[in-house]
Structure formats: C-alpha cells, structure tokens
Amino acid sequence: MWLYLLSVVLLLAFGWLIRDRQKIGDVKDKYVLITGCDSGFGSLLAKRLDHQGFCVLASCLTQKGVDSMHRGNSSRLKAVLLDVTDRVSIQKTADWVQAQVGEKGLWGLVNNAGRAVPIGPTEWMKMEDYHAVLGVNLLGLMEVTLTFLPLVKKARGRIVNVASVMARISFAGGGYCLSKCGVESFSDSLRRDMQNFGVQVSIIEPGFFRTAVTNLECIEKDLHRLWDRLSPEVRESYGQKYFEKYVQVQRFSMNVLCDSDLSKVTDCMEHALTARHARTRYAAGWDAKLFWIPLSYMPTILADFLLSALLPKPSQSVR
C-alpha cells in the first residue's frame, strides 16, 4: 500500500517537473515591458532578457537609469522614462509602447517598480507615509496593469507582479507590507479573470534581498526622521534604547539576512515569462522558503512570539 502511494507521488512529481521545464517557442518577436529598471531586479532582468533575444522595453524613473540601460545592451533593448505614480507619464509610455509593439501586442508586463520606506512601528506613521508607498507599490502597479492590459491580451501574454513574503506576514508597520498584500489580492482576482483570455498572471514573493530599495543608509535616515517628528509623549513611551535597538535590528536584517544574489529573483521572473506553464507563485530566497512562508502558516500566537523576540520592548511596555 505504502509502496503504491509512494510510486504515485513520485510519478506526479516527475510529471510536474517535465511540465514545469517546458518552454515557449521563439522569443525574438516578443516584447516585454519592465518597470523599475534603474537598478536591482529590473535592471538585471532587462539585461538577461535582452541576452536571450527578447525585445525589452525597460522603463526607468530617472534619466540616469535610461542611459544605463542603453549602455552595454543590444539595439533591441529600448529604455523610457516612467513614473508609475503619474497618470500622464503612464499614458505617454503606453503610447510609446503601442508604437513599438504594433499588432504583436505585449508578451510580458513585469511590475517591478517598488518602494520600501517609510518602515517602522505603526504608531510612528502618518497617512502621507502610507500614500507614498502605496502610490508606487500598489496603486501605481494597478494603473500600469490596467493601462497595458489590452496589449497583453492581444499577445495572450504574461503579467508578472512583484509582491513579497511580507505580504503573508507583516513584520513592520508602514505601507510596504500593506501594499504587497494588496498586490497579492489584485493579482489573484486578475489571474482568475484573465485565464479565460489566455493571459497568465504570476506573483513573485522575494525574501530579504539587498537592493537600492532596501538600502540601509536610506532606511536608517528615514527611521531618524520618523523618530524626530514624534511627540515627546510618544518618544518617552518607547524610550531612546528602543529606538537604538530598533535601528540595530534593521542593520542586522540588511547586513546579515539580506541576500545579495539577485538572480534568485530574476530566475523566477524569467521562468514566469518563458515557461509554457508559468507558476502562480514563486518564492525567491531561502529565508522565504524556509522561514517566512512556513511562519505564515503557523498559529498566530506562535508567529507573534517568534517575531516579538526579534524586536526590542518599549520602555513603558506592560509585559
């Protein structure tokens, strides 16, 4: 009996591996638009897809990013300025992309542009802090997707949205975890709607990686900004030692836990664009696979205990 069950499991696993390794055909006439190509995942993905023969449309927030994309890549790769929080900029880019792809449509849309800060205890936040992050990570992603969706439908292509393991379990306050949770929800509903049109939607869930978005200097600077603007009463309730230890936790997370191998994420993005059967979700990084995702399935009381052990206690804590 057990041998029979084991054989069935092995056959299913072998069948899944064969299916997972099947690739699409010729990519030379396929266009892929990637947001957030100034650095990090977007920049690396654009270069790798260009090397494979895709027609890459790399959008950057800065002119420096555009110039960087044009250096050292083939003539197939074209870069454009795009601010995902600006409706006029999105529409201008959409007109440019339409002229590039013509009747072929857009094979791939990779919503990679993102922002992390402000991050910190929830009580330290103001509504404008949430708007700053949600505007890029969620609302910008949604507007870009809805704008380019007709072109993706025409090509019966792929949409790849970058979420995070922090969408599953919120480790810090601020708009980051909230926005990534929204990306997951938006992507789920979009996937079910688009499967009837031959469009595949995939979600990337990276763990902790060292990128420009997770720059330690930027995070520390923003934490000091949040701390300095707190009222004396709130600062006193946390205490200076809490703030100092909170900064130390961020340093530990960035210097020790963050993976510098960005290809672990771009490999997932590539698979979602080139596999005949793209996966629904991709977990990138060993911390995502072995800690954060398993933790998200644990009882809340256990998850709270483990996460609370990583953070300092306020001076006026009742515990």
Active site residues: 176
Buried b (16+ CB within 10 A) or exposed e, 89-111: bbeebbebbeeebeeebbbbbbb
CA dist., res. 35 & res. 206, Å (int):
17
Find, among 40, 193, 196, 222, the residue nearest to 124 by Cα: 222
Identify the residue whose tokens are 């050292």: 72
Ramachandran angles phi, psi of 81, nearest 5°: -80, 135
| Contact between residue 52 and residue 73 where contact means Cβ atoms under 8 Å apart | no
Query: Please, what is the angle between helix 127-134 and helix 175-194, to 10°?
Result: 40
Find, among 251, 311, 258, the residue nearest to 284 by Cα: 258
Identify the residue whose tokens are 């897809």: 49
